[in-house]
Structure 1
């Protein structure tokens, strides 16, 4: 696989460790080109993964006080900045596309091996550990990071008056089920999230459940 840096190789004489770090930083510029399904609130286009990760970091800083358990804000910011890097190679898997998710875990783990392996060994292990922590969602920080990952598109879909809630076949119950993970980290934020979902449904921005 050709790396971005191969198009314009770094000059000779740069320290090997620094060269690997710069190679990684150049490669993750690809994140800006990975489009998500969520619409932006500020422009008529979809957001990209880099914008999404930045937004999550800002949310962690501002909303940490709502966590049900004390969290290390800096560590949680690291988790949200790392969590979607694998999509550079694995691609984005839309939340409401159940078919696309069947091999998501395998694709993302292979991507993690390839991408994080560009870093010096110690940093590769640290970044991989952050990614694994986010995926396993066992620590208070990882639970809150995941909650932000679910709350952020909820806000964008509210601003879009439905957005991906209007995906064919998706009902209000599906939305609530996929967003319930917010409640694992913050009862208060989940209460607010449910209010947005319920009000969106009342305004006709999502489909009622079958038989509802």
Structure 2
């Protein structure tokens, strides 16, 4: 086997570990929590279907690439729950270190390409990365709503926490955010999400 192919195969086997990383969001039926790889797949399909709702025209394949790559660092860094304030203080450092190791398995050109996709997602400085980030924020709202707010209830999440996390979501997909916000509002009305008066 040539060296390039060996590195590519090593990377493909390494990212199989993403299947073991569990998130706090439940599946739509509430039966169990979703895995990182399931989350990435779900967003890739969303990107294929919902591109027409991006605030700016986007290259769909590029968006799919961003959502498939953006959580690979969690193989080392773990999934940091959106509302874990302590975990979020060390998230950037943990994920930078993970990105260096994981993408470094690849041949140099592909390591640079995938690291670049991960960094672009984090920066939110292109239409594709803003749309990809919107999908990343909206997908757990959809699952939380479908599972009757199970994760929100378990963690005692307030409306303000969700809104703070989503202050930039409309930059990528305002119409999708309006839809997601209507779901949040319904759970505030039900009392499953506590209202605390915060708005962006």
TM superposition score category, shorter chain reference = over 0.9
Q: Which residue of 1 aligns with 2:164?
A: 177
Change in 2 beyond 3 A, CA 1:95/1:176: same
After superposition, residues 103-122 of structure 1 pair within 5 angstroms as: 103-122=90-109
> Distance in 2 between the 1:22 and 1:32 partners?
17
Is residue 58 from structure 1 mapped to residue 32 from structure 2 by the alignment? no
> Distance in 2 between the 1:167 and 1:184 partners?
29
Q: Which runs of 5+ in 1 are unaligned?
A: 1-13
3-state DSSP of counterpart to 1:194: helix
Q: Which residue of 1 aligns with 2:126?
A: 139
> Distance in 2 between the 1:94 and 1:112 partners?
19
Between 1:176-185 and 1:144-153, the stretch displaced more is 176-185
Task: Judge conservation of contact 1:34–1:91 (CA < 8 Å) in 2.
Answer: yes
Task: Judge conservation of contact 1:150–1:181 (CA < 8 Å) in 2.
Answer: no
Task: Judge conservation of contact 2:15–2:72 (CA < 8 Å) in 1.
Answer: yes
Q: Which runs of 5+ in 2 are unaligned?
A: none
> Distance in 1 between the 2:174 and 2:30 partners?
31
Is residue 78 from structure 1 mapped to residue 65 from structure 2 by the alignment? yes
Q: Which residue of 2 aligns with 1:3?
A: none
3-state DSSP of counterpart to 2:71: coil
Instruction: Considering fraction of residues, name the structure with more helix.
Output: 2
Task: Judge conservation of contact 1:166–1:207 (CA < 8 Å) in 2.
Answer: no
Supply the RMSD in Å over aligned alpha carbons: 1.4
* Partner residue of 2:11 out of 19, 24, 43: 24
* Partner residue of 1:94 out of 55, 78, 81: 81
Deviations 1:188-212 (A, max 9, x none): 111111101101111122112179x
Change in 2 beyond 3 A, CA 1:165/1:42: closer
Q: Which structure's relative contact order is higher, taking Cα pairs within 8 Å and 6+ residues apart?
A: 2
Task: Judge conservation of contact 2:29–2:147 (CA < 8 Å) in 1.
Answer: no
> Distance in 1 between the 2:20 and 2:168 partners?
27
Task: Judge conservation of contact 1:60–1:73 (CA < 8 Å) in 2.
Answer: yes
Between 1:37-46 and 1:26-35, the stretch displaced more is 37-46
Task: Judge conservation of contact 2:43–2:139 (CA < 8 Å) in 1.
Answer: yes
- TM-score normalised by L of structure 1: 0.90
Task: Judge conservation of contact 2:156–2:193 (CA < 8 Å) in 1.
Answer: no
> Distance in 2 between the 1:167 and 1:117 partners?
37
Which structure: larger Rg? 1
- TM-score normalised by L of structure 2: 0.95
Q: Which residue of 2 aligns with 1:4?
A: none
